[in-house]
Structure 1
Amino acid sequence: MDWSDLRYALAIGRGGSVAAAARQLGVNATTVQRRLDALESRLGARLFDRTRGAYQPTDAGAVVLDQAQRMADQADEIERRVLGRDRELTGPLRVTTAFVVMEHLLPPALAAFARAYPGIEVEVVENAFLVDLSRRSADTAQSWAGLEADVALRLSANVAEHLVGRQLGMTHCRAYALRGAPDLPQTLQPLPVLLRDAPWVAFERDATSRVYDRWMRTQLAQAHVRVRVDIFNAVAAMLRTGVGIGVLPTFMETRHPELVAVSEVIPELSVPVWMLTHPDLRGTARVRAFMQHVGDALAERLRSMP
């Protein structure tokens, strides 16, 4: 049996169609169908029922998909264990983090690391959600065994228990307004007063994944919201227009001197910064070097912030 045929069947099972599998694998649909036909012919069993364009696993297909997933997991584990024994301070290193962290926290530490370890090529991928570093990307077309990331840098109170790493410090949030705006508060005000009287720039109404989303859904339910956006950088852009006040992490202050804090730190929005990796990768030289060098720099910076 050709393992790569099982890979195509697994992609169909995940995507629910030949077209979705083709997009996931970076090939055309004809190739996917041909490989599925070859596998079914070799096994002498139909693996999927085709109904209205959707592919539903048959009983035989469910058995094949279960075993194929186990094989994929084993392949992942083999690669992680091999990578974990890598002692060279050279090669690629992929880091995933939120855009606001990349723009406002990471650059100085990342630049210092790049100068100290010129043989390591760091690729930073913006991703607002904590990835499971033990799993592979579902839609990678370049490599069946491509890691989603080696290191994750996250603002989160909850992290996956199977990941390892360190808490670097805490981030805090305040409400901010355009400095000098005549119709907006310019001094520290009690938060209930701001919620009652000031116009707000908030996050999108249906967002729920971040602690900031949940806070805004409850606290701003009766507030006057003028504009909703999806990320902190967009909040800052709107605050610079003077349309309202909004919540930002305090580490954005230095890049936005045109804004003034109008509330004290909001305790419910204080979250830790984590640097994480998979246990099998923590022994990799470049992962260890990154987590030590960049982690120490970020921890020092967070300690110096209000």
Structure 2
Amino acid sequence: MPSFDWDDLRHAVAIGAAGSLAGAARSLGVNHTTVLRRLDALEAHLGARLFDRQRSGYQPTEAGLVLLEQAGHMAARVDEIERQVLGRDRELTGPLRVTTAFVVMEHLLPQPLADFSRAFPGIEVEVVENAFLVDLASRHNDTEQSQMRREADVALRLSGHVAEHLVGRQLGMTQCRVYALRGAPGLPQVPTPLAVLTRDAPWVAFERGASARVYDGWMRQQLAQADVRVRVDIFNAKAAMLRTGIGVGVLPTFMEDKHPELVAVSDPIPELALPVWLVTHPDLRKTARVRAFMQFVGDALVKRLQAS
């Protein structure tokens, strides 16, 4: 039989202490569906009902009482281990791996990261530019597939959805507009309705088969009948093509500072507004270097996003 998942036991202990799913959820800082899912998984694993669901709340069964007693001993030992481990990780030194998208590394992260490195010279930050969110929980899997994956301590992502098991903060919103080369003959130079742009202007778009980003679906729909001249795979390549005057294209507004030769020719596009998240795994959030990075860089990016 596979070993216990301590997280499942922890959720059961919280139910026993609170007497309800809602109370357990509040104490653990999760939603009640997560608590119920964990309890169901534990009961299925053990093949026994641990709580009777009554009007007055969740009452432990005989099997539940045995489990809660033993789990209480385990919890005390886990807390002791955690204190000892964290005590060795309170210094602001050591490696820190951050994953983000190329466009974020290029335009949002450099200055906050440089300032962080000056403030915390003992922390060595390694940035992995990746268009997809690294599974920060994969460090707990020993499968061959997870061993092949690059892991990270912190993720900085543009995303409308963050996995439920991650913790962190939303730093702000990004906006997108359509841009053209400033002064280019035949290209619009002032904000123009999207319907007119898609009908009359030549476009630089993303690759036809792309589907992972919110931008991809929007472009497939909006540019289905448009005059697309060039397709690329990332925003930096699109900006490079826009600088040639070949057409117009969508870019995040935070790219404007590095591309003064481009002019916005649309209003912000509501469908392409995305939040910026800075997240980590719950097991890592108390680590000193992770906590310092999320606070310092997070605060800097909040100000940066407010200004863009």
Which residue, out of 171, 175, 179, partners 1:176? 179
Q: What residue is the counterpart of 2:293 in the other structure? A: 290
Compared CA separation, residues 113 and 176, structure 1 to 2 (3 A): same
Whether 1:227 aligns to 2:220 is no
TM-score, reference length from structure 1: 0.70
Q: What residue is the counterpart of 1:129 in the other structure? A: 132
Distance 1:226 1:179 in 2: 18
Q: What residue is the counterpart of 1:251 in the other structure? A: 254
Compared CA separation, residues 262 and 224, structure 1 to 2 (3 A): same
Which residue, out of 107, 111, 127, partners 1:108? 111
Which residue, out of 236, 239, 243, partners 1:240? 243
Describe the SS at the equivalent of 1:167: strand
Q: Which residue type is aligned with residue 96 of structure 1?
A: T
Compared CA separation, residues 146 and 256, structure 1 to 2 (3 A): closer
How many residue pairs get matched?
Answer: 226
Which residue, out of 149, 153, 161, partners 1:150? 153
Distance 2:139 2:268 in 1: 38
Compared CA separation, residues 186 and 165, structure 1 to 2 (3 A): same
Structure 2 residues without counterparts, runs of 5 or longer: 1-80
Compared CA separation, residues 275 and 202, structure 1 to 2 (3 A): same
For residue 84 of structure 1, report the CA deviation from its aligned partner: 9.7
For residue 131 of structure 1, report the CA deviation from its aligned partner: 1.7
CA deviations 1:239-282 (Å, max 9, x no partner) are 00000000000000010000000000000000000000000000
Q: Is the 8 A contact 1:84 1:284 kept in 2?
A: no
For residue 176 of structure 1, report the CA deviation from its aligned partner: 0.2
Q: What residue is the counterpart of 2:61 in the other structure? A: none
For residue 136 of structure 1, report the CA deviation from its aligned partner: 3.9
TM-score, reference length from structure 2: 0.69
Structure 1 residues without counterparts, runs of 5 or longer: 1-77
Q: What residue is the counterpart of 1:269 in the other structure? A: 272
Which residue, out of 75, 96, 100, partners 1:97? 100
Alignment of 1:54-93 (within 5 A): 82=85, 86-93=89-96
Distance 2:206 2:215 in 1: 8
